[in-house]
Structure 1
């Protein structure tokens, strides 16, 4: 909460000028115009009795390190943060899953994966928070548009066995013209 020097009291986000409130800023300028803290504040919806949504979001970002770690933290870890109950934890998890599903949704007008960075972003969204190793594939058509994402092999925290024959079978099954492999390292 911001201290209002004229009144000597704390004020919430609703008392801020409309041009500075995260939700209104998002609606006016788009989500990309927000900082990570502002975006998380919109997702959280409101603060607590002692702090507004923006302060709560900044505290979470500081505790976790960055927005990606807030979104991928386990519900058990998030529950340790004061001000986060089941509803807010569910909102955070739902936001992450909504983004994932958007990335994998088959769309005939979806743009091609035209650069390595496109594949990196896709795999990062799918694999970043997994506690075990995964070998996965993006199956692409002749224009490098996504046909399907599949997690082909799942391993332990430090290894995953990969069988080339199975990868080839899945590529042929999808009639894929190209395949991009993805693999994570949960231990860093």
Structure 2
């Protein structure tokens, strides 16, 4: 049985055209990934390839941490497509970390948590991160001092003060 290729879809149902008409928020993760990948293989459409990729990594969460070698282990994904995926993930990470002030100011524990949340949200192990502040509570430097176990991080005070 022949699988449906992108050219077999009605024009107004193709992901790229739907993004143009209705915006990126109207697309599924599979459709967004299909646009990024651009082409499928001889035997499957780009939508099917994107679906297999997401199924293999159980969604975007594990895909964002996958290595190039893990991504190219998927049939139909070569180095160029793997690099495109890693590039898109990194651009998203950098956008999420943008700050509009010259220096982020920490006024409360919540501000500190918000400052490190994007980088630490999905870590598999406990990380002890220090934020070094100016006298005006502006973040001068952020440093991971210790990576601990699954649920604990034991740090000596000298490790915090040394940097």
Structure 1: how far apart are the matches of 2:146 and 2:72? 31
Pick 1 or 2: higher relative contact order, CA cutoff 8 A, min separation 6: 1
Q: 1:83 to 1:103 in 2, by over 3 A?
A: same
Deviations 1:68-123 (A, max 9, x none): 212222222222110111111111111111111112233239xx978x78965553
Q: CA RMSD in A?
A: 3.9
Secondary structure of residue in 2 paired with 1:72: coil
- Which of 85, 94, 100 is the matching residue for 2:93? 100
Secondary structure of residue in 1 paired with 2:146: strand
Unaligned runs of 5+ in 1: 4-8, 171-188
Match of 2:39 in 1: 46
Q: TM-score when scaled to structure 2? A: 0.70
Match of 1:84 in 2: 77
Structure with the larger strand share:
1
Match of 1:178 in 2: none
Is the 1:18–1:24 Cα contact (8 Å) retained in structure 2? Answer: yes
Q: TM-score when scaled to structure 1? A: 0.62
Secondary structure of residue in 1 paired with 2:40: coil
**How many aligned positions are there?**
159
Unaligned runs of 5+ in 2: none
Is the 2:37–2:84 Cα contact (8 Å) retained in structure 1? Answer: yes
- Which of 42, 51, 65 is the matching residue for 2:58? 65
- Which of 54, 62, 74 is the matching residue for 2:67? 74
